Amino acid sequence: MKITLDLDELLEAKKISQAEYDKFSRFAARSTSALAFNILVAFGVIAVSGATLALLPHLSTVLTMGIAVFAGGIALAYTRLEQWQLLADICIIAGALLLGGAIIALDEGSTRSFLFVAAAFAGAGVLTQSRLLIVLSVLALFACLGARSNYFHATYSLNVKQPALTVLVFSLFSVGVYQLSKILPAAYQGLAIIASRTGVFLVNLGFWIGSLWGDLSDVLVLPDWLFSICWAIALIAVSIWAWKANRRWVINIAAVFGGIHFYTQWFEHLGADPITVLISGLLALGFALGLRAMNAKLAGKA
C-alpha cells in the first residue's frame, strides 16, 4: 500500500518530528533514485529495440525481439522486487506490442490475427495483472469489427465501419464483464472493471460515428438521426442508473460523451460562428458546474 504525505506540511503542523522528517525524506530520495534508474534503463531498452528493428526490419526479427523483451519483463516481474517493477511493466508492454504487431503483419491484418492477439493480450494481462494489456486486448477486439485509426499530416482519423454492430457487441461485452467482476477474486476484479470501462468507451465511439454517418455496412443500413436519438436515450438511462448505483466513473464518462454528442449535433446543424460558439461556451460552463455538484454529492454518499 502506498500513501502520499506532504512532509513539509506535517512538520510545520508538528505532526512529525525533525528526525522523522529526515528519515522519511531519505526513503523518498531512495525511491526517486530507483524510479529514475528504471526510466533510464527503459529508454535504453526502447532505443536498442527500435534501432535493431530499423537495422533488421524483418517480421521474424520483430517476433524474436518481442518474445525476448516480453520474457525479460515477465522474469523481472516475478522477482517481486519493487525497484524493478516499472521496468518489468515497460518490457511486458513493449514486448507484447512487438509480438502483436508481428502476428498481425504476418497474417496481413486478418480478423483471425486480431482475435488471436486479443486473446494473447488478455491472457498476458491476467498473468501479469496488467490493466494496460487488458485495455489493448479489448481494442484488438474493436479492430475485429473493422475499426481503424489513421494519421496523415497534422490529421488523425477514426474509422468505425460497423457502428451498429460495435454498439451492440460492446454493450453486451461491457455488461457481461461487469457482472463477471462481481464474482471474481479481488485480485482480478480491477482487470474486469477496466475491460468493462473500455467497452463502454467503444460503445460511445460507435454511437458518435453513427450519429455523423449512419451505418452503411453490408449488414444493414441505418440513418444518422437514429443513432443520435438512441445515443441520447442511452446516455440519459445510463446516467440515471449510475446516479442510483453511485458509479461516479460512469456518470463522468456519460457526461463527457453527452457533451461531445451535444456539441457534435450543435455545430453540425447550426455551424460555427461567434453567436453559436458564445452560447455553447455558456452552456459548457453551466454543464461543468452541474457535473461538479453531482460529483460532490456522490462523494458525500461514498
Residue 247 falls inside a structural domain: no
Q: How many whole angstroms separate alpha carbon 24 and alpha carbon 8? A: 11
Q: What's the structural domain count of the chain?
A: 1
Please, is 266 exposed, middle or buried when counting C-beta atoms within 10 Å of its C-beta (0-12, 13-18, 19+)?
Answer: middle
Q: How many whole angstroms separate alpha carbon 34 and alpha carbon 136? A: 28
This prediction has a pTM of 0.74
Residue 285 falls inside a structural domain: no
Q: How far apart are the first and last CA of the chain?
A: 21
Residue 121 falls inside a structural domain: yes
Q: How many whole angstroms separate alpha carbon 245 and alpha carbon 184? A: 20
Residue 301 falls inside a structural domain: no
Residue 64 falls inside a structural domain: yes
Q: How many whole angstroms separate alpha carbon 73 and alpha carbon 71? A: 5
- In tens digits, what is the pLDDT along the chain, a chain of 302 residues? 445 566 677 777 777 777 777 776 666 555 555 556 656 665 776 676 666 666 766 778 778 888 888 888 888 888 777 777 777 888 888 888 888 888 888 888 888 999 999 999 999 889 888 888 899 899 999 999 888 877 777 678 888 889 999 999 999 999 999 999 999 988 899 899 999 999 999 999 999 999 988 888 777 788 989 999 999 999 989 988 988 888 888 888 988 898 888 878 877 766 666 776 677 677 777 767 776 776 666 666 55
Lookup result for grid cell 525479460: 72
Give me the domain span that covers residue 6.
1-144
The one-letter amino acid at 39: I
